Amino acid sequence: MTQVKLDKFCLVGAVAALLALIFPLAGIDGDTGKQVAFVGDIPGLASAMALCVIAGAAFTWIGVCTILHAGILLAVAVFGAWQAIDALYDYGVAGYASTGFWLFIISLWAFVWRAIDVIANYHSLETVKQQSANIIVPIAFGVWLLFVWEVVVSGFGVPQVLLPPPSMIGVRFVSSTDTMMADFYQTFVKAALSGYVMGCGSAFLVAIAVDRVPFLKRGLLPLGNMVSALPIIGVAPIMVMWFGFDWQSKAAVIVIMTFFPMLVNTVTGLNAAGKLEKDLMATYASGYWSTLFRLRLPAAMPFVFNALKINSTLALIGAIVAEFFGTPIVGMGFRISTEVGRMNIDMVWAEIALAALAGTAFYGAVAYVERKATSWHPSFRVRRH
């Protein structure tokens, strides 16, 4: 007798889908006293549930062994998710979802998890295949989280002032592009970018100057390290007083916030060149500037880029938070604080999504330049699995 090893996740999925067909789909409407919707009335959802039962049962026996199996499982889950959303909004289940519906979601969860699991453990010697698997996993996971957010918020009928569903945020995002572009321009382009460039640039130059004076270097490094732990963002009200409501005060906050990480990293980086390499330059009777440009600055680049990356996040935070202390009537921070006051939470989420996009894109751009500029660095070339 051969021992049959059942696939637990698929079993859970199949059983949950089967139960979903039996249990009531939605609760009872308070006004009419009738159940809001039945599975039988929604052919799409019923077929999705049936499909889940069949697919789950099948994979419980044969196991999810290949990428193809995982793909089929994922496709079934996507179809199910689509039907679930359909049932929520087109058949009025939203706000009344009951045991049957949630069992179905659990079934979908089991399938998605199992499929992601298989794809995550996929190993291929072909880089393209391996990389696409590595990208699919987090994306599928992220999309699944968004789906759960959507379904839970509308299924339970969570008030929109508390947490709007992502679809609503998306609609708001698209419909108020003009406002958001203006906010983006004010906060990111005017304040964050200019502050970032000024802060990083001046710190870089100061670092090179400080590096020539060992006494200053020893005095500034510990202080600089300490400063990075301080809540510098608190200078925002002072800067608003000094430089007014417009972007200049935000840029000033950012200059202060980004200065010390850059200073500390550059000074550290300038001392990162190895002893042998310094001796080598000495044997060539290479002068200060020649050694600086040929050896010490290139060796410092990984550190400088590290600071540039840290600062890219700090710049956006500084710009947004500084706007909480006073601003003209445009800007991401301004929008967030006023719309929160008006309980337009979907607009707040749209702004947060914009901030997240801007932050990630900014960071990504710096990381891209880093990769191009310091491709020689070991952290970029050791990419073996």
Please state, in angstroms and rounded to a whole number, the distance separating the CA atoms of residues 161 and 153.
Answer: 11
Regarding 274 and contact with other proteins (CB under 8 A), the answer is yes
The residue within the footprint of other proteins, chosen from 240, 251, 252, 308 (CB under 8 A), is 240
Please state, in angstroms and rounded to a whole number, the distance separating the CA atoms of residues 113 and 144.
Answer: 9
Cβ 281 to other proteins shortest distance, Å? 8
The residue within the footprint of other proteins, chosen from 54, 174, 226, 272 (CB under 8 A), is 226
Strand partners, 26: 97
The residue within the footprint of other proteins, chosen from 29, 86, 117, 246 (CB under 8 A), is 117
Please state, in angstroms and rounded to a whole number, the distance separating the CA atoms of residues 229 and 258.
Answer: 12
Please state, in angstroms and rounded to a whole number, the distance separating the CA atoms of residues 301 and 317.
Answer: 24
Cβ-based nearer residue to other proteins, 31 or 279? 279
Q: What residues contact 385, with CB distance under 8 A and at least 6 apart?
A: 123, 130
Cβ 260 to other proteins shortest distance, Å? 13
Residues between 282 and 311 with contacts to other proteins, criterion CB under 8 A: 282-286, 290, 294-295, 298, 301
The residue within the footprint of other proteins, chosen from 230, 272, 329, 369 (CB under 8 A), is 230
Cβ 340 to other proteins shortest distance, Å? 5
Q: What residues contact 162, with CB distance under 8 A and at least 6 apart?
A: 345
Regarding 330 and contact with other proteins (CB under 8 A), the answer is no
Regarding 125 and contact with other proteins (CB under 8 A), the answer is no
Residues between 53 and 112 with contacts to other proteins, criterion CB under 8 A: none
Number of residues that bind other proteins (CB under 8 A): 86
296: nearest Cα among 164, 195, 194, 208: 208
Cβ-based nearer residue to other proteins, 100 or 333? 333
Scanning 2-10, 14-22, 136-144, 170-178 for contacts with other proteins by CB under 8 A, the matching segment is: 136-144
Task: Locate 322 and state its tokens.
Answer: 């500084």
Regarding 272 and contact with other proteins (CB under 8 A), the answer is no
Please state, in angstroms and rounded to a whole number, the distance separating the CA atoms of residues 282 and 95.
Answer: 76
228: nearest Cα among 267, 260, 255: 260
